[in-house]
Amino acid sequence: MILKILTVAGLATFEIYVAIPTGFAMGLSPWVIFFSSVIGGLTGVFVAAFLGDKIKSFVARYKKPKVKEIKTDTLAHRIWNKFGVIGLGFFGTFTVGAPISIAVGVGLNASLNKLAFWCCVGVIARCIVFTLTGYYGMKLL
């Protein structure tokens, strides 16, 4: 039982889309799936947020910086300009996941504390929505 819970939490650290169906496939309770995916998702947020700078500095030591012009007409910039940290943290977590949202936010020089907060809110909302969808979807079968 503990191994199943740790598997769901470990998968949720990277991608909640995989963790919740895996929990249902393993026969876990929806409450156990929800709480283990929330714990794993929040762990992924904090690992990406607070170890991201160390990883970035490690890579920068071995890679020469390239000077190039940054495009500001991309979709990410338009979303960033329209919705800001809340949009990137909450809606980005729903669409692509929290670690990627944090990586994009770091690239756009977002406030890391605000971005981590909104990613946490997005992870909890995402776990609620997908656990309920999985539970009621399984009831239909």
Count CB atoms within 10 A of the CB of residue 44: 25
68 has a pLDDT exceeding 70: no
Interhelix angle 98-107/30-62, nearest 10 degrees: 30
Q: Are 93 and 101 in contact (CB under 8 A)?
A: yes
Q: Of 97, 128, 18, which Cα lies nearest the Cα of 136?
A: 128
The pLDDT of residue 8 is: 94
Reported confidence tier of residue 69, pLDDT bands at 50, 70, 90: low
Q: Of 34, 49, 25, 31, which Cα lies nearest the Cα of 98?
A: 49
pLDDT in tens, 97-116: 888 888 888 878 888 889 89
Distances (CA, A) of 56 to 48, 49, 51, 116, 128: 11, 11, 9, 17, 32
The pLDDT of residue 82 is: 84
Alpha carbons 137 and 93: distance in angstroms, whole number: 22
Range in 31-35, 73-77, 122-126, 128-132 the model is least confident about:
73-77
pLDDT in tens, 5-39: 999 999 999 888 899 999 999 999 999 999 999 99
Helix, strand or coil, per DSSP, at residue 29 = coil
Higher pLDDT, 94 or 75: 94
The pLDDT of residue 40 is: 94
pLDDT in tens, 41-62: 999 998 888 887 777 777 777 7
